[in-house]
Amino acid sequence: MAFTKLPFLPPLLLYSLLASHAHTNVTLGSSLTTAGPNSSWRSPSGDFAFGFYPLAASGLFLVGIWSDKIAEKTLVWSANRDAPAPAGSIVSLTEARRLVLIHPNGTVCPIYNGGAANSASIQDDGNFVVRNSASQVLWQSSDHPAGNIFPDEILIPICTFSPKTIFIMGGGEGSTARELLRHKTVDKVVMCDIDEEVVDFCKSYLVVNREAFCDPRLELIINDARAELEIRKECFDVIIGDLADPIEGGPCYQLYTKSFYEFTVKPRLNQGGVFVTQAGPAGVFSHTEVFSCIYNTLRQVFKYVVPYSAHIPSFADTWGWVMASDSPFVLNAEEFDLRMKQRIKGENRYLDGKTFSSASTLSKAVRKS
């Protein structure tokens, strides 16, 4: 079973189904179900919950951990990213001293399979821990990060050249900044988010991003991203739009307009600089919502515009991004892998040269839009 961290998931999911019980200690024989009031266990403070996280209208669920006190219910970890569970599934700390996910057809998917488990708990730092009878830790979710998808995809442009200065619009939970700061070429990252409450919460409780917030290369600004770009004098090698979708009347729709790209973003890019933005659903049936519009808008401003996409299980759809520049993107799979090896510590679980090469291969229906 795959394990992953999944930061920055927007409110497209059925959060109303996330019923939680305030368990501080999960005993042998305890279980959760996908429906009803017993679908999750909460940390003592109620900040985090562990349990079944519904995936939009798909009827499927991730077994995961999410921040339970903020409206977005941000998912921070999942045990079954690659194989969401159907309705009717159960999570159980069994009498056989294992933590397992059981599908309705009887298929058993181990989460912790080492035996000797006596209890479990979801802690106030968002870590789910399995302990033995002596209260020693046998297994914990924080030991199974297994990389993440969303930041990998949005950061493809950083691998196309050697940027030193980067501006992030949004990204308040810190995941994009964390991935950027893995690159040795980066000297400065400015992250500008308007929601101080979310930023403070994530700084305090999202352990996986805590190091990024402490990195001296990160400059954190609480402000409207457009206003911040307009008052700044310096230019950047990369500008990233890690924002909510451009829903009319929403907080971000003005950050997706032709005038914003042309008169605010482009003047703040260094020569050869790259702009990239998340661009909403990009599936066969969903790409016309905002993805095609964002792509066609950027084509009116930049000489080179590349749309790309990846399936995001926790979004229950294919998701899109668009990168744009006045300089061509020239990088093959082998060069991509070499640059990643030279620049970062460790290895990505998802993004490599072949993935990079295939990401911009869109379906015919999407391309024609």
The H-assigned helical ranges of the chain are 150-154, 175-180, 196-205, 210-214, 225-231, 258-260, 291-299, 333-343, 353-359, 364-367
**CA 241, CA 245: separation in Å to the nearest integer?**
10
Q: Is 68 a catalytic residue?
A: no
User: Residue 326 carries which DSSP code?
Assistant: S
Complete edge-to-edge strand list for the sheet that includes strand 26-27: 26-27, 119-122, 128-131, 137-140
Strands 188-193 and 165-170, how do they pair?
A: parallel
Residue type, 259: S
**Length of the chain (residues):** 369
**DSSP element (H, E) containing 95:** none
Which of 68, 193, 237, 242 is an active site residue?
242
Q: Residue 207 corresponds to which tokens in the numbers above?
A: 């352990």
Q: Which residues does 344 contact at the CB level (< 8 Å), separation at least 6? A: 182, 183, 184
Among all residues, which ones are annotated catalytic? 242
